[in-house]
Amino acid sequence: MNSREMKVELGALGALVESRLATIFSDGLTPERLAASMDYSLMAGGKRLRPVLCLAWAELVGGRADKVLDFACAIECIHTYSLIHDDLPAMDDDDLRRGKPSNHKQFDEATAILAGDGLLTEAFTLASSLELQPDRILKAIFHLSTAAGPRGMVGGQVLDMGLTGKSASLPQLREMHAKKTGALIETSCVTGCILGGGGDSDQALASEYGRAIGLAFQVTDDILDVIGDEAALGKPVGSDEAQGKSTYPALLGIDQSRVLARQSVDQALAALSGFSHPRADFLRAVGLYILDRTH
C-alpha cells in the first residue's frame, strides 16, 4: 500500500470516528456550556490516529469496526482530555492548540478542568456500553484505564514534570515517553485486538506493534522539532529545548535518532508479519508514514 492509499484509508476510518464523536454530547442531558467546551476540543481536528489504530487492530483479527467504534471514541475522549489538562496554566500554560485558543482560553480555567474531567469519565460510559462479549469489554476497560492512569499516562506526565530543567538519561526519557504518550497508543492497538476477538498471542503482537509505533512517533516528533517542520508540529522550532525538556536528538544526535526511529518501525512491521488481512497492509503503511514525516 502506498502513502496515498494509506491516507485514504486513514481518512475513511477517521471520518467514521469523527461522525460518532460529534453525537456523544448531543443528547440534551449535559449542561450546555460543558457540552460546548468538551465538543470544542473533541472536534478540533487531528488525524484520530489512536482510535483508527483501535479499529484497524479489531478488523485485523476478524472483528467489526462498527462494534468497536464507541471504544475507539472513548480512547479519543481520553486523548482529548489529556490535551486540555496539559494546556492549563498550572501545567504547560499553552494559549494555543492546533492554531486555535486552547480550551481554557476559549472558555475559562474552571470549565476546562471540568471539560477534561467530563471527557475522561465519559470514556468509560462509552466503553461500558459496547455490545460485545462482556469479559472482553472488561479486559479492554482494565487495559485502557491502566494505560491512561497513574501507572501510565498520568504517571508519565508527573515523570515529565520531574525531568523538566534536568538532563535526563536515555532510560529515564524512554520510561517517561513510554508512559506519557506510548501507553495510550499501545492500548489503542491492544484493546482493539481484544475487542476484535484476538487471542493472547495476537494481543502480544498488538502490544509490540503499539509500543514500537509509539516510540517511533515520539522520536520523529523530536527530530521534526529540531529540523524545523513547524507546520507539522504547530509549535516553534526548538521550543522543547527552550523549555528545558530532554529530547532524543539532544541525547543521541539526529543521526542516531533516525536509526532508533527506523528500528522501531521495523519492529512494528515485524509484529505484523503473520497477518494476511488487508488491514495489515494499512498498519504497515502507518508505520512507514510515521518514519517518512522526517524526510
The three three-digit cell numbers of residue 247, written as one number: 529530547
Minimum CB distance to a copy of itself smaller for 141 or for 206 = 141
Contact status: 125 vs a copy of itself (CB under 8 A): yes
Binding residue for a copy of itself (CB under 8 A) from 161, 170, 227, 270?
A: 161
Strand partners, 100: 97
Spatial separation of the C-alpha atoms in residues 127 and 125, rounded to whole Å: 6
Query: In angstroms, rounded to a whole number, what is the distance separating the alpha carbons of residues 21 and 41?
Result: 11
Could you say which residues in the range 201-260 bind a copy of itself, by CB under 8 A?
A: none
43 near a copy of itself, rule: CB under 8 A: no
What is the closest distance, in whole angstroms, from the C-beta atom of residue 69 to a copy of itself in the complex?
17
Q: Which of residues 48-77 bind a copy of itself (CB under 8 A)?
A: none
For a copy of itself, the closer of residues 121 and 239 by Cβ is 121
Evaluated on CA atoms 188, 192, 195, 200, the torsion sign reads negative
State the CB neighbour count (10 A cutoff) for residue 32. Answer: 9
Nearest Cα neighbor of 60 from 222, 248, 188 is: 188
Quick one: which of 135, 200, 231, 295 contacts a copy of itself (CB under 8 A)?
A: 135
Instruction: Let me know: does 44 contact 97? Beta carbons within 8 Å.
Output: yes
Tally Cβ neighbours within 10 Å of residue 232: 13
- Could you say whether residue 33 binds a copy of itself (CB under 8 A)? yes
Q: By CB under 8 A, which span of 32-40, 227-235, 245-253, 280-288 interacts with a copy of itself?
A: 32-40
97: β partners: 100
Rounded Cα gap, residues 182 and 206, in angstroms: 13
Nearer to a copy of itself, 94 or 229 (CB): 94
Q: Point out which residues bind a copy of itself (CB under 8 A).
A: 25, 27, 29-31, 33-35, 38, 81, 85, 88, 90-91, 108-111, 113-114, 116-118, 120-125, 127-129, 134-135, 137-139, 141-142, 144-146, 148-151, 154-155, 157-159, 161-162
